[in-house]
Amino acid sequence: MAVTSPFPPSPPSVASDSMYLAAAIAGLLLFVWRWRSDPLRHVPGPTLAKWTPFWLMYYARKGERYLAVHEAHKKYGPVVRISPWHVSFASSEAPARVYAQGSAALDKSPFYRAFYVQGSESLFSTQSRALHSSKRRLLSQPFSYQSIRGFECFMRESLGRFVHRLDRICAGDRFGDAVRPGNYIDVLLWFNYLAFDIISDLAFGEPLGMVNKGSDLLPAERKDGTVFEEHAAALIDQRGRTAAVVGLMPSIEEITKRLPIDFIAAGYKSTESLSRIATRCVKQRVESGVTRDDMLERLIEGLREKEGGTVSQEEVVTEAMLLLTAGADTTANSLTAILYYILLHRPVYERIMAELATVNAGVAESDGTLPTLKHMDSKIELETTIDSLPTHDQVKSLPYLNAAIEEGLRMFATNAFGLPRVTGPAGFELDGIVVPPGVEVSVPAYSIQRDPRIWGPDAEEYRPERWLDEGGGAMKKHMLTFGSGPRACIGKNLAYFQMQLALATSLLRYEFTLPPRTELRSLEGFMHKPVELWVQIRRRGTQPMKT
């Protein structure tokens, strides 16, 4: 039997209604007050981005941050608000102002805390100008062009192993996951193997052996001395993807890293694993007793002088990890994109080959029969291979090759998103916009390097000739591939040196064919990088490839 209340229903409470109304009015007033007091309310941009960083975080998580910012600039103009405390400038004057030098220089923003290694700051991640200057002085000499010229013999050894391995693939060896039937290789992976071997040889006294293994699987050492293996390229990718998101909310990073979210946990685990790889590399080098005038030796000596005879292993490992990650990954990404654009544009390819033919035309040709796989394993064969490679002096001044490299870097910006700086106590003014103190500002490299107001109506086209036109050299001030200003990439000279050598060697020795309708797919973590690039490879002078 249903039970009914003996009491009549209560009438609506006037007090309760008044409370809800008051709360609504208070919320509206708070909204209006915040909007009217917002010093950036006059800066256009996506509505959601004005109120929360989640607009930018969403696209960072998708790997499309640079594209979202680019589309926002196309819609709203050269100045766009991309988060409540971040303004993006995409004008021809912006790079020189945002990344200014001297007294006008802006500090790096807290975004870079996401790249700390066990709480330790590297040359790349430190926000402190004084600490950055100190670290840069330690590394500037080994990264100078003159020092890098002295390292060429080591680079040629790694390059010799690289072409030695590709020769084996051309001879029919199915080697590793980066090779498919029909002599197809993923050049992104192979350029990664090469770049890692080169930088590890320069930094630690011997290559990591990725080229010989056909794999990026590397040993890492835990604190208890046990050894495990990880895929280095995958670790770098995961770390970059997580840092790109976490860095957008640095004030709550300590909370963020403890959230039970697989994506975030994987990023921090990747950083730990990379530091364990670097720790093992440094430990093996120090314990070997080998003395060689290379980057690690100079870094340790510099730190010893700075610290008065003592060297912190944590600081050495932090900088060694930076050498590994930044020194290899970005070079491989750039080489892959440059080769793609060259192969995609046949007239460009033919002009480069004609230029290379004047350099060292005979040494890269095969006599028509490739050596047997067994013979190719011999030390004599490897030494012969190294002797056949072009030198940097032979290729460094080839105008069209360098123009093709520069144009590839323009079209495929590896740091496509703007590197953030923070405005100082006096604020910042640019393009008619006044930005108050403590706000992040940046210049999106992808947008600047494809801006028709700077590059002309063919800005979206790959055209190396633009760098040979009158005034082409002056256009370099609009290139942000290696950053700009006092915090620009210290490894720029090394990257160009490697790209010139590796690209010239590869094109001289091999014929590459893009499969029909190949597109260069890419994703963005912290860095913008290709996903893969499969091409068919044949040693020059041998039988044509079957398609």
Based on the number of CB atoms within 10 Å of its own CB, is 394 exposed (0-12), middle (13-18) or buried (19 or more)?
Answer: middle
Residue 320 pLDDT: 81
Residue 37 pLDDT: 64
Residue 361 has pLDDT above 50, yes or no: no
For residues 220-249, average pLDDT: 91
Q: How far is CA 279 from CA 204, 282, 381, 448, 463, in A?
A: 11, 5, 34, 38, 43
Residue 416 has pLDDT above 60, yes or no: yes
**Collapsed DSSP state (helix, strand, coil) of residue 351:** helix
Residue 519 has pLDDT above 90, yes or no: yes
For residues 96-103, average pLDDT: 91
Distance CA 161, CA 142 (A): 24
Residue 366 has pLDDT above 50, yes or no: no
Q: What pLDDT digit, counting tens, does each position of 107-147 carry? A: 999 999 888 887 778 888 888 888 888 778 777 888 889 98
Residue 300 has pLDDT above 80, yes or no: no
pLDDT, greater one: 316 or 478: 478
Residue 22 has pLDDT above 70, yes or no: no
Q: What pLDDT digit, counting tens, does each position of 188-230 carry? A: 999 999 999 999 998 887 899 999 999 999 999 888 888 999 9
Residue 344 has pLDDT above 80, yes or no: yes
* Neighbouring residues of 265: CB distance < 8 A, sequence distance ≥ 6: none
For residues 418-444, average pLDDT: 95
Q: What pLDDT digit, counting tens, does each position of 525-539 carry? A: 999 999 999 999 999
pLDDT, greater one: 306 or 91: 91
Residue 18 pLDDT: 63
| 376 band by pLDDT with thresholds 50, 70 and 90 | very low
Q: Please count the other Cβ atoms lying within 10 Å of the Cβ belonging to residue 159.
A: 24
Distance CA 15, CA 60 (A): 46
H or E element that contains 228: strand 227-231
Residue 373 has pLDDT above 70, yes or no: no
Residue 310 pLDDT: 61
| 2 band by pLDDT with thresholds 50, 70 and 90 | low
Q: Please count the other Cβ atoms lying within 10 Å of the Cβ belonging to residue 240.
A: 23
Q: How far is CA 433 from CA 40, 50, 76, 108, 509, in A?
A: 9, 16, 14, 20, 53
Q: What pLDDT digit, counting tens, does each position of 29-87 carry? A: 544 545 556 899 999 999 999 999 999 999 999 999 999 999 999 999 999 999 999 99
Residue 301 has pLDDT above 80, yes or no: no
| 374 band by pLDDT with thresholds 50, 70 and 90 | very low
Residue 383 has pLDDT above 90, yes or no: no
For residue 461, what is the DSSP state?
S
Residue 455 has pLDDT above 90, yes or no: yes
Q: Which of 216-230, 236-250, 335-349 is the most confident on average?
A: 335-349
- For a pLDDT cut of 70, what percent of the chain falls above it? 85
Sorted by where each begins, the domain ranges of the chain are 49-539
Residue 318 pLDDT: 80
| 393 band by pLDDT with thresholds 50, 70 and 90 | very high
Q: Please count the other Cβ atoms lying within 10 Å of the Cβ belonging to residue 354.
A: 10
pLDDT, greater one: 338 or 115: 338
Q: How far is CA 85 from CA 55, 402, 443, in A?
A: 12, 39, 15
135 touches 128 (CB < 8 A): no
Nearest 5°: phi and psi at 272? Answer: -60, -45
For residues 312-328, average pLDDT: 79
Residue 547 has pLDDT above 70, yes or no: no
Residue 308 pLDDT: 60
Residue 305 pLDDT: 67
Residue 17 pLDDT: 57
Distance CA 251, CA 85 (A): 12
Which of 304-313's residues contact partners 24+ apart within 8 Å by CB, and which partners?
306/134, 306/138, 313/279, 313/282
Residue 285 has pLDDT above 50, yes or no: yes
**How many residues make up the chain in this entry?**
547
Distance CA 217, CA 206 (A): 16
What value does the mean pLDDT of the chain take?
Answer: 86
pLDDT, greater one: 206 or 453: 453
Residue 485 pLDDT: 87
Residue 528 pLDDT: 95
Q: Which of 277-286, 288-297, 326-335, 408-417 is the most confident on average?
A: 408-417
Q: What is the pTM assigned to this prediction?
A: 0.88
Q: Is 49-539 CATH 1.10.630.10?
A: yes
Concatenated DSSP letters for 44-73?
---HHHHH-THHHHHHHHHT-HHHHHHHHH
Residue 10 pLDDT: 53
